[in-house]
Amino acid sequence: MAEKKSLRQELTKGFIIENPVLRLVLGTCPTLAVSTSVENALGMGIAATIVLICSNVAISALRKVIPSKVRIPCFVVVIAAFVSLVQMFVKAFAPALDESLGIFLPLIVVNCIILGRAEAFASKNSVIPSAIDGLGMGIGFTFALALMAAIREFFGAGALTIKVLGKGFSIDITEQLAAIGLEPILIFILAPGGFFVFGMLIALANKIAENNGKPKATLNGCEGCPMASACAVKISDEEASAQ
């Protein structure tokens, strides 16, 4: 019973409590770049979730044979292999999505969420919890992306389209806005609008966390990065060799 409860906690922690975007403030670059439309956000979120699950499982299974000093390059190689597979799949079955996501799809390789979970969790836990952790963090990442994209697309384009496997719904209020002499707020789908919505969502997440007795999300530079310890070791070694 305790194990089931633990696995459930591992799954749900990424939804809100440790949401990688709104609470851990990771993956900011792809979040701002692809959240101009819900379809792009869902595509990126699903791709990242698949890579998260697969890389967590592989790294967890290999954690005892990967030398500690070269673990980061090994993690990158494992992640890159799964990203390549996902990218080929997207190119074959969803070429329009591949074109929309552009360079940000292959850049999943260096997404700090993926590397962070590999270093902080998968390399220290068994396969099943690592898979659950990857699924939970992927769902949290996808939720944050989709929520941000829905806000930006609705206010910035005056329309909202959500489709999954060719089915979905759309809302278009451009005609209603034109009838009263208004237009969509274009800045929402531009970079400044992305930062504004991102900031508002983090503020909301902080408020929810505060009401539940959780610490606020803060930007602490390198200290907040899951890879900070590895970087610190590398810097110390370089300083020692320089002396």
- Mean pLDDT lowest for which of 90-99, 205-214, 226-235? 226-235
pLDDT of 23-33, one tens digit each? Answer: 888 888 889 99
* 114 close to 81: Cβ distance less than 8 angstroms: no
**What pLDDT shows up at residue 231?**
56
Higher-scoring residue by pLDDT: 136, 213: 136
With contact defined as beta carbons under 8 Å apart, do 126 and 3 qualify? no
C-alpha span between 116 and 9 (Å, rounded) = 19
Between the CA of residue 83 and those of 26, 128, 232, what are the distances in Å?
18, 21, 27
The closest alpha carbon to 133, from 231, 238, 3, 6, belongs to 6
Compute the average pLDDT of residues 63-91.
94
User: What's the sign of the alpha-carbon dihedral 216, 219, 222, 225?
Assistant: positive
- Measured over the CA atoms of residue 185, residue 191, residue 196 and residue 200, the dihedral's sign is positive
Angle ∠(192,195,197) on CA atoms, nearest 5: 110
How does residue 228 score in pLDDT terms, banded at 50, 70 and 90? Answer: low
How confident is the model over 145-183, as pLDDT tens digits? 999 999 999 888 887 777 655 566 677 777 776 777 778
Tokens matching residue 80: 């890159």
pLDDT band at 218 (very low <50, low <70, confident <90, very high): low
The answer to whether the pTM exceeds 0.95 is no
Cα–Cα distance measured from residue 218 to residue 121, given in angstroms and rounded to the nearest whole number:
21
CB 40 within 8 A of CB 162: no
**Which distant-in-sequence residues (6+ apart) come within 8 Å of 196 by Cβ?**
188
SS3 6: helix
Q: Which of 50-64, 82-96, 179-193 has the lowest mean pLDDT?
A: 179-193
CA distance 148 to 42: 11
